[in-house]
Amino acid sequence: MGNSSSSSSDADDPRFAAAARAFTPKELEDLRSLFTSLAARSQIDGKNYVSPEALKAYTGIDGELGDRVFDLTLQNPTDRRLTFRDLVIAKGTYERGNSEDIENFIYRVVDISNKGTITRLPDIVLVLTSIFNHVFHRAAMPEILRAFTDSANFTDDSLSEEEFRRWCNRIPAVRKFLGGNLLIPSSDPVPKLQYNMDDDHQVLLRKEYAWHIAGAMSINELQEWKLLYHSSVHGLSFNTFLANIQNDGPTVLIIKDDEGYVYGGYASQPWEKHSDFYGDMKSFLFQLYPKASIFRPTGSNRNLQWCGVNFSSDAIPNGIGFGGRVHHFGLFVSAQFDKGHTFPCTTFANPCLSKDTRIRPKVIECWGVMMHQNRAEGGVKGTVLERFKEDRHMLNMVGLANSSD
């Protein structure tokens, strides 16, 4: 393997050369400094190598998942010594590479025992447990862990690479963690939750759920979420709801119905009176319990948000909703806040979010997404062209920029 210096053998290695081109000279210099620091901590016979323990301490990921990540960064896994060449190739391929390279890496990481297939036990459960321990510094409650594993469609208790890719799309926080954070310590992926309630158990939005929802959002939207409305405190009142969230920008709406199902939607635009659908491609629907999944816009139509207030026509229902069409929304809560519905819709390619299509909300809460000042000023305003470019970017992220509206 050689040592860590940029030798002629490194320069002649096509994989190293290709990976190095993904970085600026300054970034390569920073990688060199990082490697030197990790090698010094490793203390391997005075050699410039990085040990598994040093890399795991740096990433904060230990146990079998940490060992698996270390093995996959090596070009020669038999010697268990990470070189500068290994580090550049791994980061260049798995952090700066194309989506196919990144997804292949994620699949191989989750295949803990290197058997060529992913199973519920031990692979999915072990990886989720490791992620929760890393992010929350504690084990996840069994029902929360089950909500994430049950969203995967296992065939004979295993997942093909395509099935695993679909699971990662439904739980983007897992993909974001495994695909972008394994070789560099991540910033806090969980928003700070601000609320004034005596009983924490009344709050629907647990930290694990916030992490799940935040996986589909930008880093600027992950700083702080503030509880603006909770039906246990403010009553099931549409008018109070609107008064509490007025002009507060993006919000996270969460509903627990009388069947015990928990689900909701991220509204990227303020809840304001409209006689038709509005919103942009940042909005999405989600499930939290008994399954955890996220359903982002498909680009099939623009029926993203709905907010009907004091309309007298049955053709314009009063209440709030997401997706679908009038009277057949992906998610809708009537202005009385006592009933609603959730139907499969092409807007988000979501299933019915609850046990039945007709729902009776038991608890409703709404969180305001506190944006950085520059983001808050630019998030809703701007020219039509600027807004179109933002929506176009979101479509590109899901590979649907050329789909018809």
Residue 115's pLDDT band (boundaries 50, 70, 90)?
confident
Provide the residue type at 330 as one letter.
G
Q: How many domains would you assign to the chain?
A: 3
Can you give the length of the chain in residues?
405
* Structural contact between residues 309 and 242, judged by C-beta atoms closer than 8 angstroms: yes
**Claim to verify: residue 333 and residue 359 sit in the same structural domain:** yes
Q: Determine how β-strand 262-267 pairs with β-strand 251-257.
A: antiparallel
pLDDT at 377: 43
Residue 95's pLDDT band (boundaries 50, 70, 90)?
confident
pLDDT at 124: 93
Residue 232's pLDDT band (boundaries 50, 70, 90)?
very high
In a domain, 24, yes or no: yes
- Quick one: average pLDDT of 83-87? 94
**Claim to verify: residue 333 and residue 353 sit in the same structural domain:** yes
Residue written as token pair 């089950």:
146
**Claim to verify: residue 86 and residue 32 sit in the same structural domain:** yes
pLDDT at 231: 97
- Quick one: average pLDDT of 32-42? 93
pLDDT at 181: 59
In a domain, 390, yes or no: no
**Claim to verify: residue 305 and residue 254 sit in the same structural domain:** yes
pLDDT over 50 (residue 287): yes
**Claim to verify: residue 30 and residue 103 sit in the same structural domain:** no
**Claim to verify: residue 150 and residue 70 sit in the same structural domain:** no
In a domain, 198, yes or no: yes
Residue written as token pair 């989506």:
99
The percentage of residues in the chain with a pLDDT greater than 70, rounded to a whole number, is 86
Stretch among 167-181, 213-227, 242-256 having the lowest mean pLDDT: 167-181
**Claim to verify: residue 116 and residue 171 sit in the same structural domain:** yes
pLDDT at 99: 83
**Claim to verify: residue 35 and residue 122 sit in the same structural domain:** no
Residue 187's pLDDT band (boundaries 50, 70, 90)?
low
Domain of residue 42, residue span: 8-94
The percentage of residues in the chain with a pLDDT greater than 90, rounded to a whole number, is 64
In a domain, 256, yes or no: yes
What distance in Å separates the CA atoms of residue 223 and residue 306, rounded to the nearest whole number? 26
Q: Specify the 3-state DSSP secondary structure of 328.
A: strand
What distance in Å separates the CA atoms of residue 312 and residue 330, rounded to the nearest whole number? 23
In a domain, 187, yes or no: no
Out of 130, 160, 180, a domain closes at 180
What distance in Å separates the CA atoms of residue 335 and residue 241, rounded to the nearest whole number? 10
pLDDT at 46: 66
The encoded tokens of residue 382 equal: 């701007």
Higher pLDDT, 337 or 97: 337
pLDDT at 380: 41
pLDDT at 206: 96
**Claim to verify: residue 226 and residue 329 sit in the same structural domain:** yes
Q: Classify residue 68 as exposed, middle or buried by CB count within 10 Å of its CB (0-12, 13-18, 19+).
A: buried
In a domain, 241, yes or no: yes
Q: How far is CA 341 from the centre of its chain?
A: 25
Residue written as token pair 């907010």:
307
**Claim to verify: residue 113 and residue 32 sit in the same structural domain:** no
What distance in Å separates the CA atoms of residue 220 and residue 378, rounded to the nearest whole number? 12
pLDDT at 392: 44
Residue written as token pair 């290994």:
86
What distance in Å separates the CA atoms of residue 280 and residue 304, rounded to the nearest whole number? 7
- Quick one: average pLDDT of 165-186? 82
Out of 156, 180, 204, a domain closes at 180
pLDDT over 60 (residue 170): yes
pLDDT tens digits along 137-158: 888 899 999 999 999 877 777 8
- Quick one: average pLDDT of 247-257? 92
In a domain, 405, yes or no: no
The encoded tokens of residue 132 equal: 């929760």
Higher pLDDT, 199 or 308: 308
**Claim to verify: residue 249 and residue 356 sit in the same structural domain:** yes
Out of 121, 155, 180, a domain closes at 180
Nearest to 273 by CA among 308, 323, 247, 241: 308
Whether cis (ω within 30° of 0) applies to the bond prior to 25 is no
CA angle 96, 101, 102 (to 5 degrees): 65
pLDDT tens digits along 318-373: 999 999 999 999 999 999 999 999 999 999 999 999 999 999 999 999 999 998 65
pLDDT at 116: 87
Nearest to 80 by CA among 94, 70, 68: 70
In a domain, 389, yes or no: no
Whether cis (ω within 30° of 0) applies to the bond prior to 185 is no
**CATH code of the domain in which 40 resides:** 1.10.238.10
Provide the residue type at 25 as one letter.
P
**Claim to verify: residue 25 and residue 64 sit in the same structural domain:** yes
pLDDT at 270: 96
Residue 17's pLDDT band (boundaries 50, 70, 90)?
very high
Q: Convert 24-46 to b/e letters by CB count within 10 Å (16 or more is b).
A: eeeebeebbebbeebbeebeeee
pTM of the model as a whole: 0.85
- Quick one: average pLDDT of 207-231? 95
